[in-house]
């Protein structure tokens, strides 16, 4: 925090003075030539205000933790990493502007994109124009990296990807459905592109692995709806055996608590794509046991000392458990540091991108040995896509069962062919 | 469209009971928020765009009081009264300075208030999701009525909202103070000439309207997620209700809130993909056919 | 047609002087990147142009005609989307796509306006808001065409126009300057035309306008369509610059922001909204750099302006200048600025 504040202020004061003197509001300051500057500035456009502020604040805390550790260990050949974060307020045009400013005006040589959905695509287009290295750390939309038409040479995704979760979720759900004879399914997902795509893909794979799965009805509450009563009572009327939900964040917290009032989970199996995020789990006062959820983050999985150390270090800064966005941002920092080491500190976008392609990183979150940045489509594989079951007390989710990544990649390839991406 | 499902639901007692209760649950909290908005507009002629932020404030005050004291009643009181006090201060210190000016000035002041309150909440509580928690008294299985199920807390919530609405209606239509307030809405100069302190009354009415928003927020705190910016969606919904019911009409707000509640509850069964479109269509239709709303006074 | 009560502005009504000023503004804006070559300043100005057109066009409704529209961003977004979709189809050039975006938006504004302008006061505001929510929900729901909440993806291509390569940041900036100044001049001409004075009369006294045989509904519809078309050009500029179009363009917050720009700048002066746009954009730019609690800062600044100055910044300066002039020459009659409070 400290370094970032002073750094940002120094430039800004010059900006203000220049602006006053010349009558122009923004004059900025030209790049300090990369090799001489003491610190390598990394810009982070993200959402720090409004309903999803936790996305940005938790991602930022993870980057602060990573940079502190990297700098304490001697930095990159004596140079330190310095974070310049900026709020886009969740507006894509603002995200584009802020990203351009970070690169053009604040001398940021690398971008960690902490924007969700549309904002990530806006940043993606900026990077096409200004080709610095960019790591998307929040967008899970598959097309961002899977669609070759959208490919940008220096942009990478260091975040989970919808299609991977769909394969893993479908595999897990099919197994439980077979064991418990869950045939009649309903879905309850937020009514927007991510909610609909995510739900459709989950069902597609669940049906492939267990053909007896039948969808009897679907409800689509609005995104950020405060009240889910009509969806819950509709579920009560239809009486399915299992529900899949792509709800996340605060929406999911409200849905679970309101469902509790109706004892909804007493007889119905619940499968959630978003429940595994620790802030969601801790916000829910009455967490019902035995709900099935995808991994978002957990300090006990993968069971590695480095993972627990990360959780402790993160909690020291943010005062709460890490989020899904936190481990993704932290991993992105590790990728950046490793790439910088391999280029001897050169921040040129093309050189860093060449190093990142296919890079294997022994991150604390790797399910096997390493998380790999796949060179063909610039997205990570080998990260945790396990599913587990809830317990009312910390650590809230247990019994994680992973899915073999070879199988995920195989089905992902088929899916890409079907979409015309490969 | 699935009108068969709708017919089947209406003919089954259990389904009908559950969905009617859903309509009441959705509608009554909305009514509580809207009645405050409508009261302020009816008497002061002010569109309080910061009403949603007041609702949020009520929820956070209740959350804090419950966390500190563990008493549900204290939490409700803190939410409702705290916001009432805040409302009075806001009216006296800020809002009263833009009376008689362009409605856009009022909008601007309210917008500033929303920004400040949202950021204030984030500063104090952080961006995390918060939930007040259900008091033990309500941690019971849902009540069974004719085969349909209604959670105890919702019965309480609907009861409180109905009682508040009834008290408000009686207070305005059956008491001397209510008569003065009604007179104030129509001819403030005359009321002032009769030696009644209109400034105090204005502040009082604004405080009462804010109290209703705070109470709604406090009632929602155990079942809805608390985040900065949570007031926005309720503000938009309560504007739809106000427009349909008629600006300034409490009874209109009640009918319109129920209309929205029933549309959502039975729409979820009969025409799930068209619920939002339906709400929009109702609003547009009302605006075109009778711009002043179902029970609103015709614009002078 | 008799002109309504004449309001003196900073700019005299003469076309020649308007054009001279426009040329001067054009020269200044074009010179800016030569004197200050920082790309961030160019970026900032392009945003200023885009949002400035939105605010200026909205003021044709709010300040000139007295129609407080809460849904003006719908046309801003429609411009961006029509333009973006046509460019992504790869079949048309930038000027053709721009004209189609303006034309398409004008038709949209005609249909919506035909319903809305019959309503008065706050009911007009609400129905314009309702239509904007409807258009926003169409954009979010029609994923196949618009990309839903993710927006138009994959970038908007910028093929060269008559040898001008818009992929070059300076050329793009220059083009935006020219478009912006031309649009402002066009709006100025409309506002100073007999049509513009009829609109002022409708604002100040609709009954009188009606008695004089003015077709009030038709006049209101005319300015509604024109303002929508002008807003769409703002949308085109933004889409061209950010290389995409997003549903947030059509969200009510964007309309709200345009209203705040007008209020902060002032609506008495023709260029008042631009002052507000500059103020809000500058505040936003610098405050965001210093703190994530920009809402707290922005809210406090707005309160200070509203409670301290009691009017927009440009209006305040204008009144102050008028006061001084009045004190210097007490004999000269000064037209009393009409402070209109709209009953709700």
Among B143, B145, B268, B274, most A C-beta atoms within 10 A, so best to mutate, is B268
Cis check: omega of the bond before A395, within 30 degrees of 0: yes
Residue A117, min C-alpha distance to chain C (Å): 6
Subunits next to A (3 or more Cβ pairs <8 Å) are B, C
Who wins on pLDDT, A157 or B149?
A: A157
Residue C9 has what pLDDT? 47
Residue C13 has what pLDDT? 55
For B25, which of A51, A229, A280 is closest by C-beta distance?
A229
With CB atoms and an 8 Å threshold, state whether A97 touches C43.
yes
Share of chain A above pLDDT 70, in %: 91
Position B82 confidence tier, pLDDT thresholds 50, 70, 90? very high
Residue A6 has what pLDDT? 38
The whole-number average pLDDT for the span A168-181 is 93
Position B300 confidence tier, pLDDT thresholds 50, 70, 90? very low
Mean of the per-residue pLDDT values of chain C: 87
Q: Which residues of C touch A (CB under 8 A)?
A: 32, 35-36, 38-41, 43-44, 47, 140, 143, 147-151, 153-155, 238, 241-244, 246-249, 278, 282, 285-286, 288-290, 292, 294-295
Q: Which residue of B has its CA nearest to C141?
A: B273
The whole-number average pLDDT for the span B145-163 is 90
Residue-wise pLDDT for B90-118, tens only, equals 999 999 888 877 778 888 899 999 999 99
Residue-wise pLDDT for A333-345, tens only, equals 999 999 999 999 9
The answer to whether residue A19 scores a pLDDT higher than 70 is no
Measure the CA–CA gap between C161 and C141, rounded to whole angstroms: 34
* Same domain for A291 and A317: no
* Same domain for A254 and A294: yes
The answer to whether residue A15 scores a pLDDT higher than 50 is no
The whole-number average pLDDT for the span B247-265 is 91
Report the domain count for chain A: 2
Residue C342 has what pLDDT? 40
Domain boundaries, chain B: 25-230
The whole-number average pLDDT for the span B284-299 is 78
Which ipTM was obtained for this model? 0.92
Subunits next to B (3 or more Cβ pairs <8 Å) are A, C
Residue C331, min C-alpha distance to chain A (Å): 37
The whole-number average pLDDT for the span C147-173 is 86
Could you tell me the end-to-end alpha-carbon distance of chain A, in angstroms, rounded to an integer?
43
Residue B1 has what pLDDT? 60
Who wins on pLDDT, A191 or A389?
A: A389
For B234, which of A226, A249, A285 is closest by C-beta distance?
A226
* Same domain for A14 and A140: yes
* Same domain for A368 and A294: no
* Same domain for A203 and A183: yes
* Same domain for A177 and A296: yes
Share of chain C above pLDDT 90, in %: 48
Q: Which CATH number is A175's domain given?
A: 3.40.50.2300
The answer to whether residue A301 scores a pLDDT higher than 60 is yes
Position C326 confidence tier, pLDDT thresholds 50, 70, 90? confident
Q: Which residue of A has its CA nearest to C153?
A: A121
Residue C46, min C-alpha distance to chain B (Å): 25
The answer to whether residue B203 scores a pLDDT higher than 90 is yes
With CB atoms and an 8 Å threshold, state whether B103 touches C68.
yes
Q: Which residues of B touch A250 (CB under 8 A)?
A: 129, 225, 227, 230
Residue C249, min C-alpha distance to chain A (Å): 8
Q: Which residue of A has its CA nearest to B18?
A: A233
Residue C310 has what pLDDT? 79
Residue-wise pLDDT for C267-324, tens only, equals 888 999 999 999 999 988 888 888 888 889 999 988 988 888 877 888 888 888 888 8
User: Looking at the DSSP assignment, which residues form a beta bridge with residue A361?
Assistant: A371
Containing H/E element for B150?
strand B148-150
The whole-number average pLDDT for the span A5-34 is 40
Residue A237, min C-alpha distance to chain B (Å): 7
Residue A247 has what pLDDT? 94
* Same domain for A170 and A156: no
Residue C165 has what pLDDT? 87
The answer to whether residue A23 scores a pLDDT higher than 90 is no
The answer to whether residue C166 scores a pLDDT higher than 70 is yes
For A192, which of C140, C249, C295 is closest by C-beta distance?
C140
With CB atoms and an 8 Å threshold, state whether A57 touches B126.
yes
Residue-wise pLDDT for C180-221, tens only, equals 999 999 999 999 999 999 999 999 988 888 888 889 999 999
Whether A231 and chain B come into contact, CB under 8 Å, resolves to yes
User: Looking at the DSSP assignment, which residues form a beta bridge with residue A384?
Assistant: none
The answer to whether residue A289 scores a pLDDT higher than 50 is yes
The whole-number average pLDDT for the span A58-77 is 94
* Same domain for A71 and A8: yes
Domain with A202, as residue range(s), is 163-301+384-419
Residue C3 has what pLDDT? 42
Position B171 confidence tier, pLDDT thresholds 50, 70, 90? very high
With CB atoms and an 8 Å threshold, state whether C298 touches B112.
yes
Residue A251 has what pLDDT? 93
The whole-number average pLDDT for the span A266-285 is 92
Which tokens go with A288?
A: 């019902």
Mean of the per-residue pLDDT values of chain B: 89
* Same domain for A42 and A88: yes
Among B131, B135, B257, B267, most A C-beta atoms within 10 A, so best to mutate, is B131
* Same domain for A66 and A20: yes
* Same domain for A197 and A138: no
Residue-wise pLDDT for B25-49, tens only, equals 999 999 999 999 999 988 888 889 9
The answer to whether residue A132 scores a pLDDT higher than 80 is yes
Residue-wise pLDDT for C233-258, tens only, equals 999 999 999 989 999 999 888 998 99
* Same domain for A65 and A16: yes
The whole-number average pLDDT for the span A277-299 is 93
CA distances from B189 to B176, B299, C197, C215, C342 (A): 18, 20, 35, 37, 19
């Amino acid at each position: 925090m400290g370094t970032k504040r002073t750094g940002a202020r120094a430039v800004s004061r010059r900006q203000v003075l220049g602006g006053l003197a010349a009558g122009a509001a923004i004059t900025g300051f030209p790049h300090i030539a990369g090799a001489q500057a003491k610190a390598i500035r990394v810009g982070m456009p993200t959402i720090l205000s409004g309903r999803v502020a936790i996305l940005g604040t938790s991602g930022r805390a993870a980057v602060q933790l990573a940079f502190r550790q990297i700098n304490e260990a001697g930095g990159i050949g004596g140079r330190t990493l310095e974070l310049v974060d900026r709020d886009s307020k969740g507006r894509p045009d603002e995200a584009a502007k802020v990203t351009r400013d970070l690169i053009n005006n604040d001398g940021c040589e690398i971008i960690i994109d902490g924007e969700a959905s549309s904002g990530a695509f806006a940043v993606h287009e900026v990077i096409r124009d200004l080709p610095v290295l960019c790591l998307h750390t929040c967008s899970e939309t598959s097309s961002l990296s899977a669609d070759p038409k959208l490919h940008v040479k220096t942009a990478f995704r260091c975040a989970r990807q919808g299609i991977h979760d769909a394969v893993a979720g479908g595999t897990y759900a099919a197994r439980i459905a077979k064991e418990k004879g869950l045939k009649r399914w309903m879905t309850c997902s937020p009514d927007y592109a991510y909610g609909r795509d995510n739900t459709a893909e989950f069902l597609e794979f669940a049906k492939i692995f267990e053909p007896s799965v039948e969808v009897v009805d679907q409800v689509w509450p609005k995104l950020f709806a405060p009240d889910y009563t009509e969806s819950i009572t509709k579920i009560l009327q239809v009486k399915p055996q299992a529900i899949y939900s792509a709800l996340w964040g605060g929406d999911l917290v409200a849905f679970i608590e309101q469902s509790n009032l109706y004892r909804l989970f007493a007889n119905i199996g619940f499968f959630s794509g978003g429940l595994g995020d620790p802030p969601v789990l801790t916000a829910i006062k009455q967490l019902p046991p035995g709900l099935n959820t995808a991994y978002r983050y957990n300090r006990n999985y993968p069971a590695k000392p480095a993972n627990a150390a990360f959780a402790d270090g993160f909690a020291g800064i943010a005062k709460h458990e890490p989020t899904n966005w936190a481990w993704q941002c932290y991993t992105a920092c590790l990728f950046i540091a490793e790439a910088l080491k391999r280029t001897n500190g050169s921040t040129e976008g093309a050189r860093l991108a060449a190093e990142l392609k296919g890079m294997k990183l022994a991150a604390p979150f790797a399910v096997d040995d390493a998380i790999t940045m796949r060179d063909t489509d610039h997205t990570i594989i080998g990260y945790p896509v396990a599913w587990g079951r809830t317990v009312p007390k910390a650590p809230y989710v247990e019994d994680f069962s992973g899915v073999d990544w070879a199988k995920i990649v195989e089905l992902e390839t088929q899916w890409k062919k079907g979409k015309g991406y490969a | 469209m699935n009108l068969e499902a709708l017919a089947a639901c209406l003919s089954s007692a259990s389904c009908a009971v559950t969905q009617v209760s859903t309509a009441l649950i959705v509608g009554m909290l909305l009514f509580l928020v809207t009645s405050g908005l409508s009261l302020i507009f009816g008497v002061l002629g002010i569109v309080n765009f910061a009403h949603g932020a007041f609702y949020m404030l009520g929820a956070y005050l209740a959350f804090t009081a419950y966390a500190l004291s563990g008493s549900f009643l204290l939490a409700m009181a803190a939410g409702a009264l705290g916001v009432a006090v805040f409302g009075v201060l806001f009216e006296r210190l800020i809002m009263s300075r833009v009376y008689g000016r362009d409605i856009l000035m009022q909008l601007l002041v309210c917008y500033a208030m929303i920004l400040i309150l949202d950021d204030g909440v984030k500063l104090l509580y952080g961006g995390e999701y918060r939930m007040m928690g259900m008091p033990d008294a309500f941690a019971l299985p849902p009540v069974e009525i004719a085969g349909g199920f209604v959670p105890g807390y919702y019965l309480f919530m609907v009861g409180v909202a109905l009682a508040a609405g009834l008290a408000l209606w009686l207070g305005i239509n059956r008491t001397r103070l209510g008569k003065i307030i009604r007179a104030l809405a129509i001819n403030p100069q005359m009321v002032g000439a009769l030696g009644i302190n209109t400034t105090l009354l204005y502040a009082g009415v604004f405080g009462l309207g804010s109290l209703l928003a705070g109470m709604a927020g406090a009632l929602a705190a155990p079942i809805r997620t608390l985040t900065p910016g949570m007031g926005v969606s309720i503000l938009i919904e309560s504007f739809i209700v106000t427009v349909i019911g008629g600006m300034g009409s409490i009874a209109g707000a009640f009918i319109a809130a129920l209309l929205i509640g029933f549309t959502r509850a039975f729409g979820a069964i009969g025409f799930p993909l068209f619920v939002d479109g339906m709400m929009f269509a109702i609003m547009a239709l009302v605006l075109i056919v009778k711009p002043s709303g179902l029970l609103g006074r015709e614009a002078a | 047609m008799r002109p309504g009560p004449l309001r003196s502005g900073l700019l005299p009504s003469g076309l020649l002087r308007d054009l001279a000023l426009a040329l001067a503004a054009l020269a200044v804006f074009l010179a800016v990147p030569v004197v200050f070559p920082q790309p961030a300043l160019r970026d900032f100005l392009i945003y200023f142009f885009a949002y400035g057109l939105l605010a200026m066009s909205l003021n044709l409704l709010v300040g000139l005609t007295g129609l407080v529209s809460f849904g003006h961003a719908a046309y801003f977004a429609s411009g961006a989307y029509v333009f973006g979709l046509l460019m992504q189809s790869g079949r048309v050039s930038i000027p053709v796509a721009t004209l189609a975006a303006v034309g398409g938006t004008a038709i949209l504004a005609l249909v919506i306006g035909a319903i809305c302008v019959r309503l008065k006061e706050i009911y007009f505001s609400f129905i314009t808001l309702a239509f904007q929510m409807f258009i926003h929900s169409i954009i979010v729901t029609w994923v196949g065409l618009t990309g839903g909440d993710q927006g138009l993806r994959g970038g908007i291509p910028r093929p060269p126009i008559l040898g001008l390569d818009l992929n070059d940041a300076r050329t793009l900036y220059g083009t935006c300057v020219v478009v912006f100044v031309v649009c402002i001049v066009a709006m100025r001409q409309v506002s100073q035309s007999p049509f513009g004075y009829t609109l002022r009369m409708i604002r100040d006294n609709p009954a009188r306008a009606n008695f004089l045989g003015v077709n009030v509904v038709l006049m209101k519809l005319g300015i509604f369509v024109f303002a929508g078309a002008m807003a769409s050009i703002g949308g085109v500029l933004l889409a061209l610059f950010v290389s995409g179009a997003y549903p947030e363009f059509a969200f009510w917050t964007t309309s709200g922001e345009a209203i705040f720009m007008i209020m902060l700048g002032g609506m008495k002066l023709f260029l008042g909204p631009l002052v507000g746009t500059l103020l809000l954009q500058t505040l936003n730019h610098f405050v965001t750099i210093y703190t994530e609690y920009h809402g707290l800062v922005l809210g406090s600044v707005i309160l200070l302006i509203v409670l301290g100055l009691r009017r927009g910044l440009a209006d305040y300066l204008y009144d102050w200048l008028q006061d001084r002039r009045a004190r210097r020459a007490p004999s000269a009659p000064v037209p009393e600025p009409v402070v209109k409070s709209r009953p709700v």
